[in-house]
Chain A
Amino acid sequence: MIPKELVAASTVPLVLSVLTEGESYGYALIQRVRELSGGKIEWTEGMLYPVLHWMEREDMIESEWREADTGRKRKYYRLRKEGRKALKEEKEHWLSVHTTLAKLWKTSPSSI
């Protein structure tokens, strides 16, 4: 299981990335991340919503209450232009970390 600090740090890029696949709602976002990470990334589910609302306030995403097929209302989130920009930056940051670590581990694999 990935430590909670790392999970927290990756929440925004994960949400932005999942939303590039199309609009989604909180529960589905969590399911998608769980599925992609093979269950290694486990959010405290309720904690996702304050992050989503913060992202909405920062204009990264927008939301809309709509009736789902089940007849119940759900709040759907969609990516905005600001969100795509933020994702581009996040990608650069995470890839830098990834590249650095990959280089280090490649040169000294026995130390892992």
Chain B
Amino acid sequence: MENISEFDLNIALRQWLDRFGQSPQVKFENLNELESHLRDSVVQLQCKGLSSEESFLVATHRVGNPEKLEPEFAKVNRNPRGLVIHGLIFIFFSIVCWFLWGILHFPDMMVTALQGAQLPAFTRLSLGCRSFLAVPPLLALVYCFYVCLRKFHAKSSWMGFFASTTAVLIFITLPTIIAVLLPMIEFMNLQLMRK
């Protein structure tokens, strides 16, 4: 007859780690490290002649009660410095986006200077996309909230956030400059033609 209660170390480990990882304060990395520890411990105990199940029970007992471990992990996983840096990057990013949104109003003022001539197509396209400038700061805000609550892998993930926001800013700033410069060039051309 098949033994349905046969012990499966992998399943038991997964269940133990799942129970421990329920707390949002425990990072995935913490779980990986504890799994590595438990596996080392189980192998060692098996070498001493214990069965898989016995080794697992002894190993998890030695690691400690998950309910008591969680607050200790939570304490150290709270990283106020990282959150402050995220906040500062978010504020800087939002201000620059707002500034670019303001700059994109400049071509509107040039319409009168161009004396009826149409704005360049790229500028018109950029003006049409102006309201989309609110999207990157909103996404950044959502990400910041996610950072506050999530279980994250990297220890200094603000670097990734900084790199992403900088890349987005470059991606937005270049077309904005072109969109503003084009009507200016047009205006200068008009002036030159008139002379």
Residues of A within 8 A of B (CB): 25-28, 31, 44-47, 49-50, 53-54, 56-57, 65, 70, 72-75
Contacts and interface: CB of A to CB of B under 8 A. Distances in A.
Contacts of A65: 32
Contacts of B30: 49, 53
A46 B63 contact: yes
B36 A25 contact: yes
B36 A75 contact: yes
B33 interface: yes
A27 B41 contact: yes
A35 B30 CA distance: 25
Nearest to B35: A72
B150 interface: no
B35 to A, nearest CB: 9
Contacts of A72: 36, 39
Given A53-B76, A57-B76, A46 B69 contact: yes
Contact of B64 (A26, A45, A57): A45
Looking at A25, A44, A45, which has the most chain B CB atoms within 10 Å of its CB? A45
A75 B76 contact: no
B64 A46 contact: yes
B155 interface: yes
Contacts of B43: 70
B186 to A, nearest CB: 56
